[in-house]
């Protein structure tokens, strides 16, 4: 009698937990599966199928799409994308890290304001922000007319429709994404660790190099990934600011789906971008584990 | 004759906005002593410590430290150039470095030879008993082990002065007692002057040669543990160090006249105690007495037995707080019993009210 | 003060970089010139033309429909999901899985959804955009609410149960009010994100119901008019107002 009641009591608790799990997490998890996992798996499947004549796929197995991606034409586009995304990421770090550091050294009440100021442009329309650079860099635009009227240059410079403009646009789009995680990482560093380094004889610069930088490396890598990966997949900025001359992986994927109608090949390219993301995150996790086996902070 | 001081703090003050954290503090710390800064949280002891280490700029005052070539103005030096090391309350071990790299860090900053660093790190790890943990990360260590690493990292620099900020507070009770002895032993062994900041009077009393009791940014009294206990100079010190019973009254030739209670035994040792005094008497100096010899009478409201001694709380008519009496072993008194209390006039301390 | 000195340099550089294009755009929106670049004098004519542009008005309505729908659905699903993960699932893997849509490259998600919709045979339109926006919106809401749940004292709910309230009453009277700032912050986040989202909408929308970002894209691509400057200035105003008020109401930075 007693054993059965205990048994059923425990069963009831387990049943309640199950109901809770199903009622709360269930709908969301089903949704993510249906609208993220299934689509991504479908794309993965498409990579080994044959292209349909009017888009879509024929269900015939092939490895030709991967072979096509290794064609020099496409490899050079991939290389170009990596280069542009890489330069953008380096510039974002060079500007973003010192900015995040500067913000972390402001008085408390100003830090929140400074962070909002960084994030604010990010919340405005991305196309509008990209468009602003067309206006800014145009041959009749404010930069050129200012330089001409100041007599710095004789004739307007070709600032638009080149690789530099694309990098500027990407940097503009994603700079806040590097500042936020770096700022969060700097804030998490226990100031006593920096004081300990000073106390043991390290100068301010030395302290930064030995303590602050390594401890903020995982956060900085997150920021770098947040700039690098979307830069590679972006097709709007290369199109609007690169003037079609700068083709990146993003443009290629867009074209495969909407113009060339080669979905399997587009799938291979898109999956390569996702693979980059996964790879970089794995690398970040490895570095974070190496550096931050810190355990609980006292 | 006292030896010339190692560290001389004079008229040091530091305020944060409206609050005065350190208020005109003057202290002298002697070479090779185990000194303690004791006070409740917020009394300014940590600010004082941080000012010595160079992490707070005092508003006024000077700090000098005896060096090979005369006295050194400490406040003019940046933190990294001060011949002082600090053991942080949280230990502040670098989580991304192994134990030996943590310990070697300070020596590397002195640009010492690799072999010398190697040797000194090995030595100090042996001293603190962590040779087998040299390659471990701080996260892999227990609380007590981390504390030893923090200590090793500081003493390996052979500073003239080692500051320890609440060194035992992060440890559990049992380890703490062990580390108290360990700290004492190490201080003896390495011959470095220790300044320990703590809020735990037991800790300070059991370890320190001399203690400065701080309250509200001021130093109340600097003395040996025994003198602090037996001859407190302020009511705050009497109250903070150990347990005491206090009565406020007027000093007369026959004792202290306490309104509503009567004449209590006590005698003035110094002439400057005014007519208004606080009489302090320790629980162990009070004895139970038959009605005829008692100076106070009341009834027992609580009896506690702990560590071979009993503490009896006695409610006395006219006194706000129960009078605490401690006696060896167990007692036959029980709740509700009526009893009389008495003490020798010499056992009572009279302080300015 | 002197110490902040050289650290302030990158700060100013960043702010100049972030705000210069925006300022130029807003100034140019009051430009009388026919080309959107060179300054010819003050005028409000582009704002007037903007108001009478049917394509833009319809695009704006379409965008609003998607944003409101996606916000409602994503907020409900995301909040439940966060509570479910925090209280019943306790798995870092499930948490990472739920938040993944916020990090997956939008282009990959967009073509995946396009392929899926095509395979199932769904006609593309505002409803498909809405369904697509819910998936990343939900992840953002869940992230914000999870952060809040991390700070929240669970003993409040235990106290409520101990005092005799049932699980449902406890949920509505204790859990939800405690999470409200995070839920509102999450909802505003999704609304702004959906309002501005282009890539996923571009792939999952039908040709007859373009959202505003799609309209802007074709405008910018096929002919620049100063009208875009005016539209840009208005959109900036809307975005900034929403974000700043969200900041003030909910202290967004704390929740994040």
| CATH number of the domain within which A272 lies | 1.10.3720.10
A184 and A241: one domain?
yes
SS3 C2: helix
B264 and B127: one domain?
no
Angle between helices A263-291 and A213-233 (to 10 degrees): 180
CA A164 to CA A87: how far, in whole Å? 10
Please indicate whether residue B163 or residue C174 has the higher confidence score (pLDDT).
B163
B316 and B188: one domain?
no
How far are the Cα atoms of A28, A121, A122, A274, C64 from residue C101, in angstroms, in the given order? 12, 23, 19, 12, 22
The answer to whether residue A58 is domain-embedded is no
Is B314 in contact with B261 (CB distance < 8 Å)?
A: no
The answer to whether residue B237 is domain-embedded is no
CA A226 to CA C83: how far, in whole Å? 27
Query: What domain count does chain B have?
Result: 2
- State how beta strands B84-87 and B70-73 pair: unpaired
Last residue of a domain, one of B230, B259, B294: B230
CA C173 to CA C153: how far, in whole Å? 15
Last residue of a domain, one of B165, B196, B230: B230
The answer to whether residue B2 is domain-embedded is no
Provide the sign of the torsion angle of the four alpha carbons C55, C56, C62, C66, taken in this order: positive
SS3 C129: helix
Name the residue among A192, A201, A214 with its Cβ closest to that of B88: A192
Question: What pLDDT does B268 receive?
Answer: 66
| CATH number of the domain within which B345 lies | 2.40.50.140
The answer to whether residue B114 is domain-embedded is yes
User: Can you spell out the DSSP letters for A178-228?
Assistant: HHHHHHHHHHHS-HHHHHHHHHTT--HHHHIIIIIHHHHHHHHHHHHHHHH
Min Cα separation A200/chain C (Å): 22
Give Cα C157 to chain centroid, integer Å. Answer: 31
Residue pairs between chains A and C whose CB atoms are closer than 8 Å:
253
Identify the domain containing residue A101 by its residue range.
Answer: 67-291
B50 and B174: one domain?
yes
Instruction: Write down which chains contact chain A via at least 3 CB pairs under 8 A.
Output: B, C
For residue A232, give the nearest of A248, A214, A219, A213 by alpha carbon. Answer: A248
The answer to whether residue C6 scores a pLDDT higher than 60 is: yes
Which chain A residue lies closest to C253 (C-alpha atoms)? A112
CA C178 to CA B293: how far, in whole Å? 65
- The residues pairing with B40 across neighbouring beta strands, listed in sequence order, are none
User: b/e string for C175-188 if b means 16 or more Cβ within 10 A?
Assistant: beebbebbbbbbbb
Q: Where are the domains of chain C?
A: 54-255
A22 and A77: one domain?
no
Residues C179-191: tens digit of each pLDDT? 888 888 888 888 8
- Residue A247's contacts (CB-CB under 8 Å, 6 or more residues apart) are A77, A80, A238
For residue C171, give the nearest of C63, C84, C113, C108 by alpha carbon. Answer: C84
Q: Do chains C and B touch (3 or more CB pairs under 8 A)?
A: no
B64 and B191: one domain?
yes
A248 and A165: one domain?
yes
- Residue B97's contacts (CB-CB under 8 Å, 6 or more residues apart) are B105, B137
A92 and A39: one domain?
no
Query: What are the tokens at B272?
Result: 């400057």
* Strand blocks (E) in C103-242: none
Taking 50 as the pLDDT cut, the residues of chain B under it are 1
Is the complex ipTM more than 0.90? Answer: no
Taking 70 as the pLDDT cut, the residues of chain A under it are 1-10, 55, 246, 292-298
Interface of C with A in 2-61 (CB under 8 A): 3-4, 7-11, 13-15, 17-22, 24-25, 28, 35-38
Min Cα separation A283/chain C (Å): 16
A234 and A285: one domain?
yes
The answer to whether residue B200 is domain-embedded is yes
Contact between chains at B138 and A197 (C-beta distance less than 8 A): no
Q: Which residues of A touch C87 (CB under 8 A)?
A: 20, 24
Identify the domain containing residue B337 by its residue range.
Answer: 243-352
Question: What pLDDT does A9 receive?
Answer: 60
Question: What pLDDT does A83 receive?
Answer: 93
The answer to whether residue C255 scores a pLDDT higher than 50 is: no
Q: What percentage of chain B exceeds 90 in pLDDT?
A: 27
B76 and B99: one domain?
yes
Query: Which helix (H) or strand (E) covers residue A58, if one does?
Result: strand A57-61
Query: Which helix (H) or strand (E) covers residue C247, if one does?
Result: helix C226-250
How far are the Cα atoms of B108, B260, B313, B324, B352 from residue B318, in angstroms, in the given order? 66, 6, 15, 15, 21
Testing the interface with A: which of B16, B46, B53, B80 to mutate, by most A Cβ within 10 A?
A: B80
Q: Which CATH architecture has domain C54-255?
A: Orthogonal Bundle (1.10)
Residues B286-319: tens digit of each pLDDT? 888 887 788 888 888 888 888 778 889 998 888 8
Provide the sign of the torsion angle of the four alpha carbons A25, A29, A30, A31, taken in this order: positive
SS3 B30: coil
The answer to whether residue B127 is domain-embedded is yes
The answer to whether residue C2 scores a pLDDT higher than 80 is: no
Phi, psi of A64 (to 5 degrees): -60, -30
The answer to whether residue B248 is domain-embedded is yes
Is A249 in contact with A275 (CB distance < 8 Å)?
A: no
Min Cα separation A92/chain C (Å): 10
Query: What domain count does chain A have?
Result: 2
Min Cα separation A4/chain C (Å): 25
Query: What are the tokens at C220?
Result: 């910018």
Provide the sign of the torsion angle of the four alpha carbons C145, C146, C147, C150, taken in this order: positive
* Strand blocks (E) in B6-125: 7-16, 19-29, 34-38, 60-67, 70-73, 84-87
Question: What pLDDT does A186 receive?
Answer: 92
A33 and A120: one domain?
no
Which chain C residue lies closest to A229 (C-alpha atoms)? C105
Instruction: Write down which chains contact chain B via at least 3 CB pairs under 8 A.
Output: A
Last residue of a domain, one of B230, B262, B282: B230
DSSP state of B116: H
The answer to whether residue C23 scores a pLDDT higher than 60 is: yes
The answer to whether residue B238 is domain-embedded is no
Name the residue among C38, C116, C239 with its Cβ closest to that of A39: C116
B12 and B70: one domain?
yes
CA B133 to CA B140: how far, in whole Å? 9
Residues C75-132: tens digit of each pLDDT? 999 998 988 888 777 788 888 888 888 888 889 999 999 989 988 888 888 989 999 9
Reported residue count of chain C is: 256
Min Cα separation A221/chain B (Å): 16
B103 and B197: one domain?
yes
Name the residue among A21, A117, A142 with its Cβ closest to that of C15: A117
Query: What are the tokens at A45?
Result: 């499947």
Please indicate whether residue B202 or residue C202 has the higher confidence score (pLDDT).
C202
Name the residue among A195, A202, A210 with its Cβ closest to that of B92: A195
Q: Which residues of A touch C81 (CB under 8 A)?
A: 24-25, 27-29
The answer to whether residue C36 scores a pLDDT higher than 90 is: no
Which chain A residue lies closest to B54 (C-alpha atoms)? A199
CA A132 to CA C36: how far, in whole Å? 10
Min Cα separation B226/chain A (Å): 34
Query: What value, to the nearest 5°, has the Cα angle with vertex B241 and ends B238 and B247?
Result: 30
Testing the interface with A: which of B53, B84, B92, B138 to mutate, by most A Cβ within 10 A?
A: B92
B247 and B327: one domain?
yes
Q: Which residues of B touch A190 (CB under 8 A)?
A: 90, 92
SS3 A96: helix
């Amino acid at each position: 009698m007693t054993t059965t009641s205990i048994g059923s009591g425990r069963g009831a608790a387990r049943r309640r937990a199950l109901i809770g799990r199903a009622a709360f997490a269930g709908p969301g998890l089903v949704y993510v599966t249906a609208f993220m996992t299934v689509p991504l798996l479908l794309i993965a499947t498409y990579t080994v199928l044959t292209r349909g004549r009017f888009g879509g796929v024929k269900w015939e197995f092939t490895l030709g799409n991967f072979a096509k991606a290794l064609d020099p034409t496409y490899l050079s586009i991939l290389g170009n994308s990596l280069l542009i995304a890489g330069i953008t990421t380096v510039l974002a770090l060079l500007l973003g890290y010192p900015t995040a550091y500067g913000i972390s050294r402001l008085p408390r009440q100003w830090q929140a304001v400074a962070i909002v100021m960084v994030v604010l442009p990010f919340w405005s329309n991305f196309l509008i922000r990209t468009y602003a650079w067309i206006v800014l860099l145009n041959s009749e635009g404010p930069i050129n007319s200012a330089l001409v009227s100041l007599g710095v240059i004789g004739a307007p410079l070709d600032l638009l429709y080149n690789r530099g403009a694309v990098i500027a646009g990407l940097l503009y789009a994603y700079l806040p994404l590097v500042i936020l995680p770096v700022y969060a990482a700097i804030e998490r560093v226990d100031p006593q660790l920096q004081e300990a380094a000073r106390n043991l004889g390290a100068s301010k610069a030395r302290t930064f190099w030995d303590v602050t930088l390594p401890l903020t490396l995982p956060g900085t890598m997150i920021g770098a990934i947040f700039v690098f990966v979307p830069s590679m997949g972006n097709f709007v900025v290369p199109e609007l600011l690169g003037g079609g001359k700068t083709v990146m992986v993003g443009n290629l994927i867009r074209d495969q789906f909407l113009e060339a109608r080669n979905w399997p090949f587009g799938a291979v390219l898109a999956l390569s971008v996702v693979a980059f993301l996964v790879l970089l995150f794995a690398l970040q996790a490895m570095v974070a584990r190496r550096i931050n086996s810190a355990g609980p902070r006292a | 004759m006292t030896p010339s001081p190692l560290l001389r703090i004079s008229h040091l003050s530091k305020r944060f906005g409206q609050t005065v954290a350190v208020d005109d503090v003057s202290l002298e710390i002697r070479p090779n002593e185990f000194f303690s800064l004791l006070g409740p949280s917020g009394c300014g002891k940590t600010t004082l410590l941080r000012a010595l280490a160079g992490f707070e700029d005092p508003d006024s005052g000077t700090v000098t430290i005896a060096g090979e070539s005369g006295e050194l103005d400490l406040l003019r030096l940046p933190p990294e150039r001060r011949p002082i090391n600090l053991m942080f309350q949280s230990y502040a071990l670098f989580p991304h470095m192994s134990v030996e790299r943590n310990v070697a860090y300070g020596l590397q900053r002195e640009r010492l030879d690799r072999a010398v660093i190697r040797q000194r790190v090995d030595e100090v790890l042996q001293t603190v008993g962590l040779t087998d943990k040299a390659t471990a990360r701080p996260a892999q260590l227990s609380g007590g082990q981390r504390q030893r690493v923090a200590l090793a990292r500081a003493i390996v620099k052979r500073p003239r002065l080692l500051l320890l900020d609440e060194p035992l507070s992060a440890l559990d009770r049992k380890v703490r007692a062990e580390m108290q002895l360990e700290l004492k032993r190490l201080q003896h062994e390495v011959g470095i002057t220790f300044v320990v900041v703590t809020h735990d009077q037991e800790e300070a009393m059991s370890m320190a040669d001399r203690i400065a009791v701080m309250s509200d940014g001021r130093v109340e009294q600097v003395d040996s543990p025994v003198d602090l206990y037996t001859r407190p100079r302020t009511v705050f010190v009497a109250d903070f160090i150990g347990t005491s019973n206090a009565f406020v009254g007027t000093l007369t030739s026959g004792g202290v006249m306490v309104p509503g209670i009567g004449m209590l035994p006590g005698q003035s040792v110094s002439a400057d105690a005014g007519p208004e005094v606080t009489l302090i008497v320790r629980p162990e100096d009070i004895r139970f007495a038959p009605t005829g010899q008692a100076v106070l009478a009341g009834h027992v409201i609580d009896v506690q037995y702990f560590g071979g001694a009993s503490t009896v709380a006695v409610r006395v008519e006219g006194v706000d707080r129960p009078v605490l009496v401690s006696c060896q072993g167990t007692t036959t008194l029980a709740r509700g019993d009526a009893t009389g209390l008495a003490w020798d006039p010499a056992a009572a301390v009279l302080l300015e009210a | 003060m002197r110490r902040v000195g050289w650290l302030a340099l990158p700060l100013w550089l960043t702010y100049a970089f972030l705000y210069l294009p925006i300022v130029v755009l807003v100034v140019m929106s009051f430009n009388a010139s026919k080309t959107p670049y060179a300054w010819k004098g003050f005028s409000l004519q582009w704002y007037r033309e903007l108001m009478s542009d049917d394509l833009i008005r319809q695009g704006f309505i379409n965008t609003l429909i998607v944003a409101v729908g996606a916000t409602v659905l994503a907020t409900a699903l995301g909040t439940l999901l966060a509570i479910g993960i925090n209280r019943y699932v306790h798995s870092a893997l499930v948490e990472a899985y739920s938040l993944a849509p916020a990090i997956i490259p939008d282009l990959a998600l967009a073509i995946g959804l396009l392929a899926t919709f095509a395979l199932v045979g769904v006609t593309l339109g505002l409803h498909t955009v809405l369904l697509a926006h819910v998936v990343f919106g939900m992840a953002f809401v869940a992230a914000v609410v999870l952060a809040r749940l991390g700070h929240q004292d669970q003993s409040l709910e235990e106290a409520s149960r101990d005092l005799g309230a049932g699980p449902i009453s406890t949920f509505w009277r204790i859990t939800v009010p405690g999470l409200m700032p995070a839920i509102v912050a999450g909802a505003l986040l999704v609304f702004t994100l959906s309002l501005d989202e282009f890539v996923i909408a571009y792939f999952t929308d039908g040709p007859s119901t373009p959202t505003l970002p799609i309209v802007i894209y074709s405008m910018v691509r096929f002919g620049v008019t100063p009208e875009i400057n005016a539209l840009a200035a208005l959109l900036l105003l809307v975005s900034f107002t929403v974000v700043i008020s969200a900041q003030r109401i909910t202290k967004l930075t704390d929740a994040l």
